[in-house]
Every structure is written in structure tokens, then in C-alpha cells.
């Protein structure tokens, strides 16, 4: 995976040749970045590329320290610490944060995006900026949308081929009502739970199923206690690279710019690494004995149709304008 970091480093060198602020503009700074995923997740690949970029831009003065496997707390807890200025940064899923910023729930709507490119265009454009303003208003500077990715099912019971297959299945969902309703609406028994509790809940059979991108099912070892993988792609959720607004505001404009630019470098490397690794992870898990299936297009359509009530139920709480905007944007993209 070395080539990702290398490519990023080359891009940075080229960018630097154009305009480089004086190194005197940078102070010695170390900041902590909390991750719920483990260190072999592509977030780490992205952060390495981001560090190479920061080293070049700040003459090695700005250093990132990654914390993994939820060692600084789960997504919600770590984000609260970042909000209150006790911790610098967190790379968190958007879904557990809907209590703080309801508009983020747009990413939880089932089957909203069809390809990663659709998601990138939305998140990296004006729509993403609108959400960033809402995050800023609660004390969180979103430096960028990294990829968590398309979410697929793993379970210990049976292949999921149609929504009816969810009947009675105990599914862990993130702490998020849209996910809760999506799976309850399919007839499952959805249980909200923080990420750090998932492995043991699967292992003890307190729950039958969970849903995450393949990379996460692999690197968090869920596959060791699961038997089936079903490619439902029922949602694309991002990671947000959130920096404490209080701390960010104490940095100089040059430092802030270096952080923004290098988070983008890291983002691109991380997205590419996720795309690669999802394939590798799937192969590895199949070799380990998990049974894998895709969903027939007609059954996928039936899942989307069945999910319309979830859109209706949550539209107002997300913000009707937000939901309308994203749907209009997607329509435009799909027509192009």
C-alpha cells in the first residue's frame, strides 16, 4: 500500500513549489486524532499521507497522533470531547452525530447514493459546505469528508437476498434513528449500539447481524464471528475529519490552511485505499469461509421502495430543504 503515500507525497511537493509560506509561520503542534476503527483500516493510510503533507508544509512542526480502536472513546464520546476543546480531532462516522446536527441524517437515508462518485460530488461541493456550516455552528470544523463507504450486511443466520430475509434478525445499528427505522421496517429487530461493543455482542450472539463496509468487517474482525456476507449497499456513510473549533481558532491562518490542504491530500489517498481494500477484504473473508451473495436488481428496487416510508418519516427532522437539495443534485448528476 506504500504507493498511495508516495503518490500523495509527490503531489504535495509539486503544490509546494508554487507557493510556500515561511516556516516561521508554524509553531510546534501535536494533535490527537481519535479513530473507532483499528490501525490497519485505510484511515491510517490516509493519515500517513496527510502527515507527509504536513511535514512538508510546516517543516515537520505539525504532528498528528492517531489513536485507534476507540481508545479515546467511541465516536459520540470523542466528538463531544472535540466539541468542548478537550481533544483536537476525531475521524468519526456522521451517523452517531445526528443529535448534534440533524441535517447529517441525509447520509443515513437508505439507498440514497449509487456510486462513490455520486457521494464525492455531493460531499466535496456546495452541499457538503452547507453541512460544514451547521457543524461549525456547534463547535466542529469539518476538514473533509473521508470515506467510510457503502455498507453491507454480515450475519450468522442466512443469506440476505430480499428485504423479507431480515424477518426477526437482531441487527446492530449505529446510534441513529434512520438506521433503526430502516431495519425495523424490513422486519428486523434493530438494536442501536456503539461500535466498540459490536464484536462481543456478535460473539456472544446477543445480536445476529451488523452492517459496515467490507474493510471494517475485516479489520475489526467481525467476520470471525459471522457466517454470511450480503452486498446490500443500503447506505453510503462518510467519515468526517472533525477538528475542535476552539483549538482551530487558536492556530494561525497558515496553520489552518496547511491543515485543510493536507486533510484533502489524506482524503484522496484514503478513498483510493478503501476502494482497493474493500475488494481484498471481501476475497479474504470468502477464503475464510463466509458465504457471499449479491442482491438481484429487482430485489434491490423492492428494498428501496419498501424504504420510502423511512424517507417520509425523517424528512422534516433532517430538513426538507436538505433532502430536496440532495435529491435534485443527484437527479442532475444522473441525467448528465
The full length of the chain comes to 336
User: Is residue 219 near ligand TK8 by the rule CB under 6 A?
Assistant: no
Nearest approach in angstroms of CB 154 to ligand TK8 is 11
User: Is residue 93 near ligand TK8 by the rule CB under 6 A?
Assistant: yes
> Nearer Cβ to ligand TK8, position 51 or 220?
220
> Nearer Cβ to ligand TK8, position 51 or 77?
77
CB atoms within 10 A of CB 15: 15
Spatial contact of 237 and 151, defined as CB atoms under 8 Å apart = yes
> Nearer Cβ to ligand TK8, position 36 or 46?
36
**Site of grid cell 503542534:** 29
Cα separation, 212 vs 133, whole angstroms:
27
> 3: Cβ–Cβ under 8 A, 6 or more apart, which residues?
none
Over the window 37 to 56, marking each residue x when it contacts ligand TK8 by CB under 6 A and - when it does not, the resulting string is x-------------------
| Of positions 42, 45, 66, 75, contacts ligand TK8 by CB under 6 A | 75
Q: Please state whether 73 falls in left (phi above 0), alpha (psi between -120 and 50) or beta.
A: left
Cα separation, 310 vs 229, whole angstroms:
24
Query: What is the total count of residues that contact ligand TK8 (CB under 6 A)?
Result: 10
User: Is residue 174 near ligand TK8 by the rule CB under 6 A?
Assistant: yes
> Nearer Cβ to ligand TK8, position 241 or 251?
241
User: Is residue 240 near ligand TK8 by the rule CB under 6 A?
Assistant: no
User: Is residue 195 near ligand TK8 by the rule CB under 6 A?
Assistant: yes
User: Is residue 87 near ligand TK8 by the rule CB under 6 A?
Assistant: no
Q: Quick one: which of 246, 195, 238 has its CA closest to 87? A: 246
> Nearer Cβ to ligand TK8, position 38 or 162?
38
Please measure the distance between the N-terminal and C-terminal CA atoms of the chain and give it in whole angstroms: 34
Nearest approach in angstroms of CB 57 to ligand TK8 is 28
> Nearer Cβ to ligand TK8, position 60 or 192?
192
Q: Which parts of 243-282 interact with ligand TK8 (CB under 6 A)?
A: none
Phi, psi of 262 (to 5 degrees): -75, -30
Spatial contact of 136 and 245, defined as CB atoms under 8 Å apart = yes
User: Is residue 107 near ligand TK8 by the rule CB under 6 A?
Assistant: no
> Nearer Cβ to ligand TK8, position 50 or 198?
198
Nearest approach in angstroms of CB 37 to ligand TK8 is 5
Q: Quick one: which of 285, 146, 310, 129 has its CA closest to 234? A: 310
Spatial contact of 152 and 295, defined as CB atoms under 8 Å apart = no
| Of positions 45, 51, 58, 148, contacts ligand TK8 by CB under 6 A | 148
Nearest approach in angstroms of CB 173 to ligand TK8 is 8
| Of positions 5, 8, 26, 36, contacts ligand TK8 by CB under 6 A | 36
The cell numbers describing 249, all together, are: 481558532
User: Is residue 216 near ligand TK8 by the rule CB under 6 A?
Assistant: yes
Cα separation, 39 vs 281, whole angstroms:
15
> Nearer Cβ to ligand TK8, position 92 or 132?
92
> Nearer Cβ to ligand TK8, position 58 or 216?
216
Helix (H, G, I), strand (E, B) or coil at 235: strand
**Site of grid cell 516556516:** 23
Beta strands in 156-227 (DSSP E): 170-173, 189-192, 209-212
Residues at the interface with ligand TK8 (CB under 6 A): 36-37, 75, 92-93, 148, 174, 195, 212, 216
Amino acid at each position: 500500500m506504500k504507493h498511495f503515500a508516495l503518490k500523495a507525497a509527490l503531489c504535495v511537493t509539486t503544490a509546494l513549489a508554487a507557493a510556500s509560506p515561511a516556516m516561521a509561520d508554524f509553531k510546534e503542534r501535536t494533535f490527537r486524532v481519535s479513530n473507532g476503527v483499528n490501525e490497519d483500516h485505510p484511515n491510517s493510510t490516509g493519515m500517513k499521507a496527510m502527515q507527509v503533507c504536513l511535514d512538508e508544509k510546516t517543516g515537520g512542526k505539525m504532528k498528528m497522533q492517531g489513536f485507534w480502536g476507540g481508545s479515546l472513546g467511541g465516536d459520540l464520546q470523542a466528538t463531544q470531547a472535540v466539541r468542548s476543546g478537550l481533544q483536537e480531532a476525531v475521524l468519526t462516522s456522521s451517523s452517531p452525530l445526528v443529535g448534534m446536527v440533524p441535517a447529517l441524517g441525509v447520509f443515513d437515508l437508505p439507498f440514497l447514493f449509487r456510486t462513490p462518485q455520486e457521494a464525492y460530488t455531493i460531499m466535496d461541493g456546495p452541499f457538503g459546505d452547507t453541512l460544514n456550516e451547521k457543524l461549525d455552528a456547534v463547535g466542529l470544523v469539518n476538514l473533509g469528508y473521508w470515506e467510510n463507504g457503502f455498507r453491507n450486511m454480515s450475519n450468522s443466520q442466512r443469506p440476505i437476498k430480499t428485504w423479507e430475509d431480515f424477518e426477526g434478525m437482531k441487527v446492530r445499528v449505529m446510534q441513529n434513528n434512520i438506521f433503526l427505522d430502516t431495519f425495523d421496517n424490513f422486519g428486523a429487530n434493530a438494536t442501536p449500539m456503539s461500535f466498540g461493543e459490536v464484536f462481543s455482542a456478535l460473539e456472544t450472539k446477543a445480536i445476529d447481524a451488523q452492517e459496515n463496509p467490507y474493510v471494517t468487517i475485516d479489520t475489526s474482525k467481525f467476520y470471525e464471528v459471522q457466517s454470511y456476507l450480503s452486498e446490500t449497499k443500503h447506505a453510503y456513510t462518510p467519515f468526517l475529519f472533525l477538528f475542535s473549533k476552539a483549538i482551530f481558532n487558536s492556530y494561525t491562518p497558515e496553520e489552518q490552511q496547511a491543515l485543510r490542504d493536507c486533510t484533502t491530500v489524506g482524503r484522496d489517498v484514503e478513498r483510493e485505499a478503501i476502494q482497493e481494500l474493500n475488494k481484498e477484504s471481501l476475497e479474504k473473508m470468502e477464503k475464510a469461509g463466509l458465504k457471499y451473495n449479491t442482491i438481484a436488481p429487482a430485489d434491490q428496487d423492492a428494498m428501496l421502495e419498501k424504504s420510502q416510508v423511512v424517507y417520509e418519516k425523517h424528512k422534516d427532522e433532517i430538513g426538507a430543504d436538505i433532502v430536496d437539495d440532495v435529491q435534485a443534485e443527484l437527479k442532475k448528476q444522473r441525467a448528465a
